[in-house]
Structure 1
Amino acid sequence: MERWLVMSNCQTVGLANCLQAQAPDIVITPLDPGQFKARPWRVKLRMGSFDRLLIYPAIRQEVPKARLDRISTHVELPIITFRGYHPDLIYIFNRAKPLSGPISHYHSAIVFACYLQGISASDTLAYFNGHFFERCGYFDVWSGERDRLVAEFEAAGLNIRPYFRDWGRTTAFMYSYNHPRIQPLYDMASALLECQDLPTYRSDLIPHDNLANSAIFAVYPEIGESVGVHGRYEFRSAGNYRTIGLEEYIGRCFALYATLQVSDLEPFHEFRKQVEDIRALL
């Protein structure tokens, strides 16, 4: 019986469980960078016991001493990222380190832009409407994100086109930009096995959705309506089933930013133009 090691980002456990559910003749083990760093010596001793490594390439630089060379076969993994439901979600640096806010590291470009412009929290609320979202280009994100995601998987030899058509038919298939629900990971596992010329044993007994207990960013109702799902202004922090509404989310973001030096705050590189464009619209 073959033994596979799966190393990726926060999708590691869900993907490994989905692979295990569809490949009963293979032993699948998940390992994220945090687990390796907690007990590196123990993990390194086990590396030689695996036949195949399924790894997201960016993870290699996080575990340079993992002795991955002891595994003979390496398969590169893509990850599921998708901004179609959350075009307003951005990441912010504080003194060159990711800034954690009310909902993990997830921030709103509109909220941050309003804060930088000196607009009050109460007045910021008024910018959350379909007209302003349209001016921000938020309704134009979906198709480009779909094409990018499909292309990235095709570049890795995985065909998710037939599966993607079913995602999001009744609800958003992402909890945030980089946290998918379990069904896309289940389908990704099928595509991986197909790419390896192995049979898939699919059923309705899919694994537990472990990312459902992670940070969840709201699907704005106006955005949801434009892509055929029900949205609501509900945000939730990791490990907490109490949701907060838009007004509370904005207030808590403003309160956080007020404790910091504005000069220390900067959006991640890929979001800088977005924030500047929104500031120009305000």
Structure 2
Amino acid sequence: MVLRLPRLLKAVSRSWAGRRGSEEVAPNGPRIAVIGNCQAKGVAEAVRVLAPGARVRLVPMSTLGRRGQGLGAFAATLEQCDHVFSQPFPTGFFAEGGSEALRERLPRMRLFPSIVFTAFHPDAVYVGDLASVARVKLVPSPLGTYHSAITLFGYLRGLPGERILGLFREDVFARLGYLDAWDLAAADLIASSRAIGFDLSEDLLRWSRGGQFMHNINHPRLNVLGDIAARLLREAGLAPRPVAVEAYAPDALLDDAIWPVYPPVATLYGVAGSTVFKRRQRRGAPPETLGLDAFVAESLAIYRTQPRETLTCHRVEHWAGSPEIRSLFDAA
């Protein structure tokens, strides 16, 4: 009997779906919970690739403490897991404490760091009230919550858009420290990782040799999250598959905001440079990009709608106290 092509394709599809489904829900696979911010989704996806059969539960940090759940009750829901991987989270989600308090209840829990690395994007900052990490109040921007420090400070100094655009040049970047940002960014990342016993010094060296490894200041590329997932599995006594996760899974953070590496910064690090920004997009929707002029214009329009006292940022507060930087902007 000859099986026609459409039927053959359907049969193959059903057969593959059955094998794939059995692998993902293997009854003896380890039960793993991954807790964290937007990076945790990539870690969870990487665990699924690296540990076939693992039953992975993603717990977004934004959901912690919802509906009045206490830390004890949350810990009880994780007791059934064989492994718990969590990024550090502060007191504020739970009255009883943060991730350290949770680890006291779950001694097998392993912490992994939140990746923040600003050297590729030294101009990107948050604006607004950061006092409460659990419930931050941030000023919106054309890219969600990411702002240009140059644009913001130019606005606060009363500069029009065309003069602000003129500040995006190499000599200004040099005087603002944008071309000397690597060592401080590396030191900050390594220090924060060592503080939780997950030293990233060797990983950072490897990532940097591969070129640009960040989409923006706190969104690493999937290969970074894959390396973290593999290390978590190894340290938990599980043998991860020897594969590159980014070759098998989509990078979900590509759908979020992408900040460009300005050309003078890109030249330093040997990566591609541009001044094209990308907005956050719905999965499957085409990307929407902004040139520098459009990004600055939209940012200024937003700032005009905000009470001036809400436009707070540690970077620009420091610049406001520097006569040299004030004169740099005022002379633009």
What TM-score do you get using the length of structure 2 for normalisation? 0.75
* Structure 1 residue corresponding to 2:113, chosen from 75, 78, 81: 78
Mean Cα deviation higher: 221-230 or 95-104: 95-104
Equivalent residues in 2 for 1:115-264, closer than 5 Å: 115-169=155-209, 171-204=211-244, 205-239=247-281, 241-264=287-310
1:266 aligns with 2:306: no
User: Which one-letter code corresponds to 2:292 in the other structure?
Assistant: L
Secondary structure class of the residue paired with 2:56 = strand
1:279 aligns with 2:326: yes
Q: Deviation per CA, 1:49-73: give whole Å up to 9, x if none.
A: 2133222222563255899587552
C-alpha deviation, 1:121, in angstroms:
0.5
Unaligned regions of 5+ residues in structure 2, if any? Answer: 1-28, 132-136
Q: 8 Å contact 2:149–2:315 — kept in the other structure?
A: no
Summarize the Cα distance change of 1:279–1:6 in structure 2 as closer, same or farther, 3 Å threshold: farther
The residue that corresponds to 2:20 in the other structure is none
Hey, what's the Cα distance between the residues in 1 that align with 2:263 and 2:321? Answer: 24
User: Which one-letter code corresponds to 2:238 in the other structure?
Assistant: L
Summarize the Cα distance change of 1:219–1:86 in structure 2 as closer, same or farther, 3 Å threshold: same
What TM-score do you get using the length of structure 1 for normalisation? 0.87
Select the structure of larger CA radius of gyration.
Answer: 2
Hey, what's the Cα distance between the residues in 2 that align with 1:157 and 1:6? Answer: 17
Identity among equivalent pairs (%): 29
Q: 8 Å contact 1:186–1:206 — kept in the other structure?
A: no
Higher relative contact order (CA 8 A, sep 6+): 1
Summarize the Cα distance change of 1:90–1:275 in structure 2 as closer, same or farther, 3 Å threshold: farther
Q: 8 Å contact 1:113–1:276 — kept in the other structure?
A: no
Hey, what's the Cα distance between the residues in 2 that align with 1:159 and 1:197? Answer: 18
Q: 8 Å contact 2:83–2:236 — kept in the other structure?
A: no
Unaligned regions of 5+ residues in structure 1, if any? Answer: none
The residue that corresponds to 2:124 in the other structure is 89
Hey, what's the Cα distance between the residues in 2 that align with 1:159 and 1:199? Answer: 20
Q: Deviation per CA, 1:162-189: give whole Å up to 9, x if none.
A: 4433425565211111011101111111
Q: Deviation per CA, 1:70-101: give whole Å up to 9, x if none.
A: 75522122111100111111111179821111
* Structure 1 residue corresponding to 2:84, chosen from 49, 53, 59: 53
Secondary structure class of the residue paired with 1:266 = coil
The residue that corresponds to 2:153 in the other structure is 113
The residue that corresponds to 1:18 in the other structure is 46
Mean Cα deviation higher: 133-142 or 52-61: 52-61
